[in-house]
Amino acid sequence: MWGFWENAWQSFASAGLTAGAATIQTMMNRAWLAQARQADRPDLFIADNVYFRYYWESLQAIQRITDDRNGMAGFASLKFMDADVVYDGGFQGNSTGNVTTLGSGGSWLSGSGAPASTMYLLNCEYLFLRPHKDRDMVPLDPDRFSVNQDAMVKLIAWAGNVAMSNRFLQGGIGA
């Protein structure tokens, strides 16, 4: 509706590229440049298992292991420019759980992890945690007592939202 407020979104299809380890850095460059505004630039990349693996594999050809304790299996953490690149693949690398393990009843992890073939670029300077004024770590009554042990549980309620003040500086990469 309002173009100035939209996220900067990059697509492999619209760029005429096939997603893979050979092209992921090209798309990350384009997405980073689309969101950079002098010192305002993405400081966190959140990727599903597919795009994280593509980025990881694109770096392995140039990786240099200098410390045996930290570099036995590759990178301890990944960076792009000055931003952290984190893996958010969910249970066994997908966002719907493992139905063959859980049976035909569905998943206990629906909604966890990044969506398939997606990488988000966040500028955390414009993200804020806004707790509700009446539910900001408020203890609930009554206390809960266990019948088979000498213990008490106190429930604590929290409600709130993550808000942003500049959506234009948030973005992503997709198929």
Instruction: Please give the model's pTM, rounded to 2 decimal places.
Output: 0.72
The secondary structure of residue 29, as a DSSP letter, is H
pLDDT of residue 132: 94
Cis peptide before 142 (omega within 30 of 0): yes
Grouped pLDDT means (10 residues each) for the chain, 175 residues: 78 90 93 89 89 90 60 62 81 49 47 77 93 92 83 90 89 90
CB within 8 A of 154, min separation 6: which ones?
139, 140, 143, 144
Q: What's the pLDDT at 100?
A: 47
For residue 90, give the DSSP letter: -
Question: CA–CA separation, 23 vs 175, rounded Å?
Answer: 12
Q: State residue 76's pLDDT score.
A: 55
pLDDT the model gives residue 6: 81
So what's the pLDDT on residue 107?
47
pLDDT in the model for residue 67:
52
Q: Locate the domains of the chain by residue range.
A: 3-127+166-174
CB 29 within 8 A of CB 23: no
